[in-house]
Amino acid sequence: MKSPSMKTVMVALMAASMPAIALAQTQSQSQAVPAVPAGTVISTDDKTPSADTMKTVGGKKVAKPFLSTAPKIEIQHIRATDMRGLNVYESPKDEGASYNGFKLSWGAAFTQQFQGLDHSNTAAARMIPDANKVLYDANKLVQVGHGFNNAEANLFMNAQVAKGIRVALTSYLSTRHHNETWVKDGYFLIDASPIDVALLNNLMKYVTLRVGHFEINYGDAHFRRTDGGNAVYNPLVGNYIMDAFTTEIGGEMYVRKGPFLAMAGMTAGEVRGQITKPAQRAPTYLGKLGFDKQITPATRVRLTGSLYQTAKSANNTLYSGDRAGSRYYDVLENTASTEAAQAWSGAIQPGLSSKVRALQVNPFVKINGFEFFGIAERAKGRNATETADRTWTQYAGEGVYRFLADDR
């Protein structure tokens, strides 16, 4: 039967995402030091506040207002899980906090979403059998209405184990696709030499190592997306149609000098650790080059280019690694859809599960409260049963103006 075309009309759009982020430290709370762009040096000494934590009012220096409950950041090289983490991309090379021995930090992110969407189509009926061999119309959209989606929550744990060295662990407490608790990632972030040797100490002023099972640094969009219960970084409700986000096992090495960034990494190319079927697997290579500079006190410019390549994989998930699921429950799904099986409603997963070569370029400009972020992306590859490569392209841009907040 010829597949009918589908014309979808969204007649009502009322979606709200209400993130609530709380970060509890094991030490006493005090005025927080905000995260800042790469290359900016800040002080964490309470007696000598940095310019970034101060502003001029009537010719006098006064502390910038912030949430009175915001804790002091005491874990080094960390992106804050509150408004201080906005527009922070890679974990900062600046220490951000002094080292005073072992520290343990816990954090949490929570999102409750209300959905008010409708959909319709004019497709002709297409009757096919379901799992029980009962015929149903695969082109008939499931009826949706207004209501609350499942609450989602994340749990963060960071341990400062040595100067410049921390262990990070993220768990999903509840998501759309998995309503049970499970671990997202865990890794070492190394920004200082564990051995006090002058050569290594000087080298680590510019080098960062990340080793373990982590969210790979392909593109910049994954730093702005909604991740389970953590929605505070995302000015939108959902993520991009082609959502390049996954976790893999391997390592990344960063070299940063002033506004310049270079990264090279190698991973196993899959979200799960596997040792069987070695003939179906090959290493995955990724890299990033970038420039990020505060041109003037009001203007910041960032431009990066990222590459991801794997020759073969049993189940690559570069565009299907969001195990939390999308924000648009059952949108454009037929009557046989379920919350778990169709967890990525509204997203496109190109199915490049075996061979992938992807390139993403991301410009970012911030002028006072205005931000522009863009994506130009091209992915080429195929699944295990295909003999020819397919090519996908994505172009996207977002403009944001942030009101009623100090420009940090």
The Cα 53–Cα 65 span in angstroms is 9
- Give me the pLDDT at residue 15, please: 36
Q: Could you give the C-alpha distances from 368 to 92, 123, 167, 179, in angstroms and in order?
A: 21, 47, 34, 40
Cβ-contact 244, 227 below 8 angstroms: no
Give this prediction's pTM. 0.81
- Give me the pLDDT at residue 3, please: 41
Q: If we measure between CA atoms, which residue out of 10, 7, 3, 241 comes closest to residue 138? A: 3
The Cα 144–Cα 290 span in angstroms is 43
Q: What is the pLDDT of residues 359-404, one digit of tens each?
A: 999 999 999 999 999 999 999 999 999 999 999 999 999 999 998 7
- Give me the pLDDT at residue 339, please: 81
**Which phi and psi angles does 107 have, rounded to 5°?**
-145, 165
Q: Could you give the C-alpha distances from 392 to 38, 319, 389, in angstroms and in order?
A: 32, 11, 10
- Give me the pLDDT at residue 240, please: 95
Tokens of 383: 């699944």
Q: Helix, strand, coil % (nearest 5) of the chain?
A: 5, 40, 55
Tokens of 43: 């002080």
**Which phi and psi angles does 366 have, rounded to 5°?**
-130, 120
The Cα 77–Cα 44 span in angstroms is 12
Q: Is the pLDDT reported for residue 33 higher than 50? A: no
- Give me the pLDDT at residue 7, please: 34
Cβ-contact 283, 269 below 8 angstroms: yes
Q: What is the pLDDT of residues 46-92, one digit of tens each?
A: 444 444 455 444 455 555 555 556 788 999 999 999 889 999 999 99
- The DSSP H or E segment spanning 37 is none
- Give me the pLDDT at residue 406, please: 60
Higher pLDDT among residues 113 and 5, named by residue: 113
Choice among 40-54, 264-278, 331-345 with the minimum mean pLDDT: 40-54
- The DSSP H or E segment spanning 336 is none
The Cα 320–Cα 348 span in angstroms is 9
Q: Alpha helices of 115-243 — where are they, by DSSP H?
A: 198-203
The Cα 3–Cα 249 span in angstroms is 40
- Give me the pLDDT at residue 242, please: 96
**Which phi and psi angles does 210 have, rounded to 5°?**
-130, 125
Cβ-contact 300, 366 below 8 angstroms: yes
- Give me the pLDDT at residue 60, please: 55
Choice among 30-34, 190-194, 288-292, 376-380 with the minimum mean pLDDT: 30-34
Q: Dihedral sign, CA of 90, 93, 94, 95? A: positive
Higher pLDDT among residues 7 and 189, named by residue: 189
The Cα 112–Cα 149 span in angstroms is 7
Tokens of 8: 């979808």
Q: Is 199 left (phi over 0), alpha (psi -120 to 50) or beta?
A: alpha
The Cα 292–Cα 261 span in angstroms is 8
Tokens of 266: 């190698």
The Cα 186–Cα 323 span in angstroms is 16
In the chain, % of residues over pLDDT 70: 82
Q: Is the pLDDT reported for residue 31 higher than 60? A: no
Q: Is the pLDDT reported for residue 297 higher than 50? A: yes
- Give me the pLDDT at residue 27, please: 36
- Give me the pLDDT at residue 369, please: 92
